[in-house]
Amino acid sequence: MEKKLEKGASINNLMPGKLRLKKLAPENDFPDVSMHNNYMAKFLTLDLYKTLSERKTPYGFTIDRVIQTGVDNPGSPFAMTMGCIAGDEETYEVFKELLDLVIEDKHGGYKATDVHKNDFNPDSLAVQPTSRLHIRHVMALSNSFFLKGGDDLDPNYVLISRVRAGRNIRGCCLPPHCTRGERRLLEQLAIEVLGSLTGELNGTYLPLRSISEADQQQMVDDHLLFAKPVCPLLVASGMARDWPDGRGVWHNGGKTFLVWVNEEEHLKLIAIEKGGNMKAAFTRFCNGVQEVESKLKEKDHEFMWNEHLGCIQTCPSNLGTGLRAGVHVRLPNMSKRPEFEEVLKRLRLEKRAIGGVDPEADSGVFDISNSDRLGFTEVQLVQVVVDGIKVLVEMEKRLEMEEGIDDLMPVQK
């Protein structure tokens, strides 16, 4: 790389004095978000806006850029969105009076003084249940149903297991705010770092530009590639600018470990395992993340991270681990039950429609993953998914046999 990415400015020294960023007073620019349903709108007052309008990060990110996506996308009564994003690592410090409130509310009361912990040891899965109540409940079920460390989700129901997390590189703006040049430098750095991986992690980088439209679609259908961010939430945040410049996907020989470059985060690291062996996916994920991090350090770079927020991410909803452990799971009966949403909530899981081929088809297959990110370790979150999927699959089996599921209803985790 000809030019090095600069390291970030010290986070302790970030409160610039009064800046004249706008022609008119904040009162004139204050957005009307009174009818919006997102976390930003819930907490943004005129007083707060006035205070934050006087600031910008060292890379020039302003409160208006933080909130633009939430101003343009009011959300709906059924879907509470975040309504704000970060443009650089410093955003979370400079605009903390707003973002701390958003983070606390979104992440189950996570306080500005709380400390986030990591755990990348897949072997902890066997011995570290997250909730005693839940375990007691699970133990009350048949022996074959007891936790075995995440490698035994029933493959007749669990089609594919996946663990992903975003990582960003300190000193470079995040996708909503980085320049074209910065994005290209990041891509170059990713190519060098990923190109130095060996063994199971030896792989190939494909710039998005080099993949035909048809091949891109095939890769999206095969769950290997991200789709173009056309969703208004993403577009309004600024992260789709210059598409596809600087974007690409790296994958290992077996296509079981992928890194998406310059999608919603600088890097998104993804481990995939066919069937129900979530532990294998998590193990590959942990190894991959640690390998990439150590190769990055050899080049004198590091991930954005701090003790309070864990891994810094573009969207505040992803802070902490940034981890989404998910399965594609077949639940044609359970998903039609009125209790389905409540069961997911109690198990701390969220559902998404599966991407890929014909997402509209009523296949009864869902993408189910942990709903938490921050304040829990990686191991705890994967454990939540393993435990929860076992409950859901057990319920599905009961319903297949036209038996009741009332006694399997979990308590709120």
**Using the 8-state DSSP alphabet, how is residue 198 labeled?**
-
Q: Between the CA of residue 24 and those of 27, 60, 72, 131, what are the distances in Å? A: 8, 18, 21, 53
**Residue 106 Cβ, how far from ligand ADP at the closest point, in Å?**
16
7 binds ligand ADP (CB under 6 A): no
8 binds ligand ADP (CB under 6 A): no
**Residue 166 Cβ, how far from ligand ADP at the closest point, in Å?**
9
- The rounded radius of gyration (Å) of the Cα atoms in the chain is 22
Residue in 325, 337, 324 with CA at minimum distance from that of residue 408: 337
149 binds ligand ADP (CB under 6 A): no
**Cβ distance 369 to 392 under 8 Å?**
no
Specify the residue for token string 């600088």: 266
Q: Which residues of 192-204 are buried (b: 16+ CB within 10 A; e: fewer)?
A: ebbeebeeebebe
Q: Which two tokens stand for residue 253?
A: 């020989």
Q: Could you check whether the bond before residue 232 is cis, i.e. omega within 30 degrees of 0? A: no
**Residue 351 Cβ, how far from ligand ADP at the closest point, in Å?**
11
367 binds ligand ADP (CB under 6 A): yes
**Residue 158 Cβ, how far from ligand ADP at the closest point, in Å?**
9
Q: Give the residue, chosen from 195, 232, 253, 355, that forms a contact with ligand ADP under the rule CB under 6 A.
A: 355
**CB-nearer residue toward ligand ADP: 171 or 388:** 388
The interface region with ligand ADP, picked from 9-17, 242-250, 283-291, 323-331 by CB under 6 A, is 323-331
295 binds ligand ADP (CB under 6 A): no
Residue in 293, 90, 258 with CA at minimum distance from that of residue 177: 90
Count, residues near ligand ADP per rule CB under 6 A: 15
162 binds ligand ADP (CB under 6 A): yes
329: exposed, middle or buried (Cβ count in 10 Å: 0-12, 13-18, 19+): buried
**CB-nearer residue toward ligand ADP: 51 or 217:** 217
Q: Give the residue, chosen from 352, 361, 400, 409, that forms a contact with ligand ADP under the rule CB under 6 A.
A: 352
320 binds ligand ADP (CB under 6 A): no
Sketch the per residue contact string, 263 through 282, with ligand ADP: x for CB under 6 A, - otherwise: ---------x----------
Question: What's the longest Cα–Cα distance across the chain?
Answer: 69
Residues 324-343 binding ligand ADP (CB under 6 A) are 324, 326-328
Neighbours of 47 (CB within 10 A): 10
356 binds ligand ADP (CB under 6 A): yes
Q: Site residues (CB under 6 A) for ligand ADP? A: 160, 162, 164, 220, 223, 272, 324, 326-328, 352, 354-356, 367
